[in-house]
Amino acid sequence: MKICILHIGTNDVNRESIHKTSPERFINLLDPFLKGSSWTTINCLEDDLPKEVDNYDAYLITGGKYSVFEDLDWQYNLFNFIKNIYSTNIPLIGICYGHQAIAHALGGHVERFNNGWGAGVTTVNVIETPDWLDPILESVNLLSMHQDQVTKIPTLATRFLGNHFCHFSGFYIDNRILAIQQHPEFTPELCRDLIIKRKDRIGNTYSEALDSLNTIHQGKIVGQWIAKFIKLHKRN
């Protein structure tokens, strides 16, 4: 399968980090479950989006530091591209910012959450169990890092993940859209560094966020869900 990662970041080759890039982390997470797939990364901030949506078998929008209500030209292009993908039968996955961008583009609502940040390991309840959600769990522990969140999902969407802090942690539309707020591709080390970097913004839940990293996260299980969702559309 040909899978396109729509990266919400930069192409800075001089970037200094001990952590892998977001596209690298997603490939590491999903490739073991999608063996033989080819991966293409397109930077939504700097690159042209595909002229033909059906150039790829699936798309995945990564997380990023941006808010969907910012007035940015590249975001308007992305929102239109999301609508184009949705008009086809090609699967689209969104994580964190990607989750919010899909909701926004398809008629949902995103806002800055008044009760602070979701940071560290959070337990998310499984509300619905579609066919691709296997293995089935009652809840899943996932790494998170966000302040914006979806407060209204698109009309045809079904909520399947949520908790007291982030009601719409995950939704899907038929077998075409899969959107999740938390980060199955994160590592605890990356999440720790982000929490420390954003200590002042996270505020009084900073220590709790750091302590939560002692809980084992289950990102690989969600990686299996995503892979099975994509495989529903495998072309012969």
For domain 2-112+147-183+219-231, give the CATH number.
Answer: 3.40.50.880
- Closest by CA to 147, choosing from 205, 80, 102, is 205
Better pLDDT: 201 or 12: 201
* Mean pLDDT along residues 177-201: 96
pLDDT tens digits, one per residue of 158-185: 999 999 999 999 999 999 999 999 999 9
pLDDT in tens, 43-66: 999 999 999 999 999 999 999 999
Cα dihedral value 118, 123, 127, 128, nearest 10: 100
Query: Model pTM?
Result: 0.95
Average pLDDT, the chain: 94
With pLDDT > 90 as the criterion, what percentage of the chain qualifies?
Answer: 89
Pairwise CA distance, residues 201 & 197, whole Å: 9
pLDDT of residue 233: 77
10 Å CB burial of residue 24 (0-12, 13-18, 19+) is middle
**Three-class secondary structure of residue 198 per DSSP:** coil
Whether the bond between 135 and the residue before it is cis, its omega within 30 degrees of 0, is: yes
What is the structure's pLDDT at 93? 98
Sign of CA dihedral 178, 219, 200, 75: negative
Statement: residue 235 has pLDDT above 90:
no
Give the start-to-end residue ranges of the domains of the chain.
2-112+147-183+219-231
Q: Give residue 13's pLDDT.
A: 47
- Smallest CA-to-CA distance from 137 within 216, 63, 221, 65 is with 221
